Amino acid sequence: MSVKKIVWFTGFSSLEVQEIIKTKRYTKPFAPWIPAAVKSFAGNKNYEIHIISAHYYIDSYKKFNTDNIHYHFFNQGIPFFGNGWPSWFPLDHWTHYKNLRGPALKILRKINPDVIHFWGAEIPIASIFLDLNDKEKEKTIISIQGFKIEEGANAAPKVRVHIQNEVIKSAKRFFTTCSWMDGIVLKHSPNAEFYPLIYPINLPKDNSSIKKKYDLLFYARVTQSKGIEDLLEAVYLIKSQDLELSLLVMGPCDKEYQNELITKAEKLGISKQVAWAGFMETQEALYQKAQEAKIYVLPTHSEILASTVRESMAMKLPVITYATGCLPMLNSQNENVILVPTNDIAQLTTSIINLYNDLEAQESLKERAYNYIINLNSNQNFRKQLEAGYNNILTN
């Protein structure tokens, strides 16, 4: 079998990458599923994976490789400086990310891959798809990892929504997680082809000996759409039933919004029950801190298949979450997480109380969830899912 060249267009950063490409300033790591996905192909001699990504705070093209994985980074921000464009002069938005499209296309065509894979239609680098020629588009597959909208708590810049919709409308093949996602794509692309794909997670180390300090845990981006306000209200309602539960909140949060949340907790009379841990610099530190809690709760209003839910399952934390997006698929065979109707704070409150008071239910739930997620998240399973989509391109 000849070696197949696969290009991954994505946006990601890690501490290891920043050290290698010598960024001028620190950037918070994001998109940890890309390093996790790399593990499925590292050392596989049948493939040559090329990861193309823009990055802030570099002044020129940077590349390096490890085994069969080749990394290509170019400047995402202002030329020579690498800073993001200011809000009063968003040149990248005005030009539909032309600053990304030129360098990325040059790298792509030099590689001349057999398959082109965009990890997301909603990310800025997806704009490159619109500049591909017909032959390049024919060998492209798009991962749907979320949907951007122009209004509401999850609002995104109009240019990103426009590009996302144009990419979905023009593309042929898609990786999706569940039929709910398929339905949204079909509204834009009636003849779309779908291939199932569940993004990988970096499995946490076993830290079962860690002492439990908190009753409840919330970790995600701390936003209204992720349900932090619903959870604060649930903690208040639980307290009104003579049960004071402590809550650990972790994740990046806008300072102004965090101040609003702190004020809300004070008005609800639960401020002493809530600990604000902020953003964890590494995933290892996050996992370590998370396991100080007993139950993970994510009342998210907008979700695909939250990696934090799956990570909590792998940490043997019982999970309560809203039945949003693709999350119900986690219970397709057994009850592995407790699902609550979206926006139903009363039922969320009841579910937390019932699970907290039933230690036997906690044990059985977390063991089922752990066994399920370890099998689901194997490198072999993930690679097979990707290969199903890639092989459709390679054989046509």
> What global pTM score does this model have?
0.82
Question: Residue 156 — pLDDT band, cuts 50, 70, 90?
Answer: low
Task: Write down the pLDDT at residue 242.
Answer: 93
Task: Write down the pLDDT at residue 88.
Answer: 86
Task: Write down the pLDDT at residue 1.
Answer: 57
- Whole-number average pLDDT of the chain: 90
Task: Write down the pLDDT at residue 231.
Answer: 97
224, with CB counted inside 10 A (0-12, 13-18, 19+), is middle
First to last CA, the chain: 16
Domains of the chain (ranges; CATH) run 4-199+378-394 (3.40.50.2000), 214-376 (3.40.50.2000)
Highest mean pLDDT out of 10-24, 167-181, 302-316, 347-361: 347-361
- Per residue in 349-372, pLDDT (tens digit) is 999 999 999 999 999 999 999 999
In the beta sheet, which residues pair with residue 127? none
- Per residue in 222-267, pLDDT (tens digit) is 999 999 999 999 999 999 999 999 999 999 999 999 999 999 999 9
The number of beta carbons lying within 10 Å of the beta carbon of residue 170 is 15
- Per residue in 32-88, pLDDT (tens digit) is 889 888 988 988 889 999 999 999 999 889 999 988 899 999 988 888 777 888 888
CA-to-CA distance for 175 and 188, rounded, in angstroms? 15
CA-to-CA distance for 229 and 298, rounded, in angstroms? 11
CA-to-CA distance for 286 and 280, rounded, in angstroms? 5
Q: Which amino acid is at 109?
A: R
Exposure string over 46-79, b if 16+ CB within 10 A, otherwise e: ebbbbbbbbbbbbeeebeeeeebbbbbbbbbbbe
CA 328 to chain centre: 17
In the chain, the percentage of residues whose pLDDT exceeds 90 is: 64
